[in-house]
Chains A and B, each alone.
Chain A
């Protein structure tokens, strides 16, 4: 069971949250017609051992989307931020690049 610290509501139980997918994946510009880049963005996911950037929604709390860094080995939640703030930062993170 995870405990996630919502920046608005404080530390809460995992049952209040819904997983919202990989936050490291970056979609190409809509005008970009390159099939490989789109295939990569839509279907390909890293499976890192260690830090994983992901979206969670505090579905039963403040309803905010969060940007979370979770260690896939220890399940430690290393950081949480409102997703509206670091979306750009997430996009340029050292993880997957578009």
Chain B
């Protein structure tokens, strides 16, 4: 299979950003090796569908749109009342599992991995950087590990997921990836920022 081309290929340059020469306060890199599957259901049968998915993935399903469930390398987001996103490593067998489960008309399963670019912002000032554009309180008390929010940064729709004390994954639509990267690296110039290779 041909290798997927990153939406950031034309602008991605590992190295330091900005004029600040102290230790990097933010590290940015693309999470290139991820897959994303959307599972949509219907109001009357979504609970039942979630029970099936719990057996299928051996993992609890999220109850609300505020906190993801992470297990191993997978994270599951409830992005709408009857809609889930399941993110995993690119060699995850998610689709095979869903195909084999005969979910029938209870679920619409769509592979959307190529539709999103995922950028990791890590480090002491990652939160400061994101909050230069994101209207979400990222204080630990309001936005703990595994909290997520679908919102906007500089008019670009994003899903922001706190994956660690100072680590955030930002999911941005592929069409906006270059604009988002330009905004992100621009906003990071004063913070001491290191761009490392995609992981």
Contact = CB atoms under 8 A, between A and B. Distances in A.
A65 to B, nearest CB: 11
A12 B150 CA distance: 10
Contact of B79 (A12, A13, A62): A62
Interface in A46-78: 60-64
Contacts, number: 39
A81 B65 CA distance: 15
A19 interface: no
B26 interface: no
A44 interface: no
Contact of B150 (A15, A61, A84): A61
B152 A8 contact: no
A60 B150 contact: yes
B15 interface: no
A9 interface: yes
Interface residues of A, number: 14
B81 A12 contact: no
A61 B149 CA distance: 7
Contact of A9 (B135, B149, B155): B149
Contact of B65 (A9, A15, A16, A82): A9
27 contacts: A8-B64, A8-B65, A8-B80, A9-B65, A9-B66, A9-B149, A9-B150, A10-B66, A12-B135, A12-B136, A12-B151, A13-B135, A15-B135, A15-B152, A15-B155, A16-B150, A16-B151, A60-B151, A60-B157, A61-B149, A62-B79, A62-B81, A62-B150, A63-B80, A64-B81, A82-B81, A84-B43
